[in-house]
Every structure is written in structure tokens, then in C-alpha cells.
Structure 1
């Protein structure tokens, strides 16, 4: 499992860079426009992704300063948010690199954000949720980009694997870095 989590940490950074690069081409109006996504806009969605990562990483390391508002805005400036995203991705990779297999079966105890429920859970499955949560909201961001521009970068894990060679035994797939375009 540890090898997969290390791959997911690298993939997370790769996907976020692609997403932020594409988002950097939006006008400020487009970036902040309510597109009907769960966190309304690209601005809200990207901030939520960072909030979620900070909440979970704080829980994983036993921190006490996790954000309390899931829809909060940590950074108004896109460039500041991107810089914070890069720093968080580096923290995530360093944290995953610090783990060993026995730590993945250890438990952590945390209080849920939406209610005062105390949960004790194995770390490994929580890390799977952590990376899945990022993919879920990046999918929403992908939809926002596609709706605004008609295209968005591919964020598929297999594209990452083929570009980097991670877990590939033979071949590379001849993938293009061209964005995905909405059909029709």
C-alpha cells in the first residue's frame, strides 16, 4: 500500500500543477464566477481543496490548527493560493515519504468537522479517502474549466503514469499533452 500512496502523492502534485496552470489562463471574472459547483466557483473549489488537505494533514500529524470552515477562503489571490498549494503538496509528499507499512495500520482519532463526533480509524484507509477527496473536487474543477473554455487538461491517473513511467512495465502510450475538449 505504501508504494501506491507514494504514487498518489506524486500524482496529486502533478494533477494540481496541471489544474492550476489551466486555471491561470482564466480571467479574474471567470475564476470567481459561480458555475453551480459545490463550492460555486473555481476560486471556491481550489480553496476548498487546500482546506481539505490542511484539515486531513493536521489530523494525520496530530496538529491542533486545522481549518474549521469547509467553504472558507484561505487566499483571495490566485497566485498566493497556487504558492500555498505547492507548499501543501510538498508537505503531503514529505508526510507520505515518512510513513512505513506498520504506521498505515495504526489508528488516529479525530473529531469530524461537521459534527462533534469522535472517530478512531486506521490511517491507511483514511489516506485513500484523502487522495480520493482531492480527485473528486479536481473533477469539479475540470468541469468548471470545460464549461468556461471548452477544454481542460487530462487529470487521469493513467496519463500521469504514462508520462512519468510510474508503475509502467512496458510502453508509454504516445499520449499528447493536448487538453481534453468537450465533444460536439
Structure 2
């Protein structure tokens, strides 16, 4: 399980970088325009992903800042948002490397932002949710990009494993 989550953290970093490359090609207007995604624009969706990851990392590690709303705009500037995204991706890579096999069974109690009733979940389930959540919203951004005539971004896990993630195939 440890190796699996390390691979997911590595893939997540790779895929986020590709999505940011795609968004960098947009005009400011297209990047910020409401395109019907859950959080509206590519800009708001990228901010949401960073917000959510900070919340989950705070729950898991007990460190870092975590907003109390899911739609907070942490960074207006794209370059600053991208730098913060890379830092959070690096935190997930470091976290998954630091965990022992037993850590994945550890129960974590926290209070969700959307429903303030304490819950307890196993760490493995929390991490699975985080990486799945990222994939879900990257898909929304991909739709925004292609609807604006941008090239389709290859985000498939197998594409990662055949290129930058080859070391995970052994």
C-alpha cells in the first residue's frame, strides 16, 4: 500500500503540472471566466484543489494552514498559485514517503468543513479520497480547456507510467 500511495502522489504531481501548463496557455479572461464547472472557472477550480489539499494535509499531519471554506481564493496570481500547488504536491510526495505500512491503518478524527460533525476515517481511505478528488476536478479543468479550443491534455495514469513514471513499473 505504501508504494501504491507513493505512486499516486508522484502521478498527482505530474498531472497537476500538465493541467497548469494547459491553463498557462489561456488568456486571463478565459482562465477566469465561469465555464460551468462546479467552482466556475479554471482559476477557481485550481484554487479549490489547493484549499482542499491544505485542509486534508492539515488533518493528516497536524501542520500547515487550512482555510475553513472550500471556495476560498488563496491566490489571485497564477504564478503564485502554481508555486503553491507545487509545494503542496511536494508535501504529498514527502508524506507518502514518510509513512510506514502500519500508518495507513491509523484512524484520523477530524471535523469536515461541509458538515461540522466529527468523523473518523482510516488514513488510507483519506489519501484515496484526496487523489480521487484531484482527478475529478482536473477532469473539469480539462473540459474547460478543450471547450476553449485548447489541445486535449493527456492525464491518463498509464501515460504517466509509460513516461515520467516508468520507475513505478518495476
With 23-32 and 146-155 compared, the bigger mean Cα shift is at 146-155
**Superposed counterparts of 1:33-182, under 5 Å:** 33-63=33-63, 65-163=65-163, 164-168=165-169
Aligned residues of 2:51 and 2:67 also touching (Cα < 8 A): yes
Structure 2 gaps, min length 5: none
Q: How far, CA to CA, are the matches of 1:64 and 1:13 in structure 2?
A: 19
**Per-residue deviation, 1:167:** 3.7
Q: How far, CA to CA, are the matches of 1:150 and 1:84 in structure 2?
A: 24
Aligned position for 1:21: 21
Q: How far, CA to CA, are the matches of 2:159 and 2:48 in structure 1?
A: 25
**Per-residue deviation, 1:15:** 0.3
The structure that has the greater radius of gyration is 1
Q: How far, CA to CA, are the matches of 2:40 and 2:65 in structure 1?
A: 26
**Per-residue deviation, 1:142:** 0.6
Q: How far, CA to CA, are the matches of 1:66 and 1:45 in structure 2?
A: 17
The count of residues paired between Structure 1 and Structure 2 equals 169
> If each structure's helix is expressed as a fraction of its own residues, which one has the higher value?
2
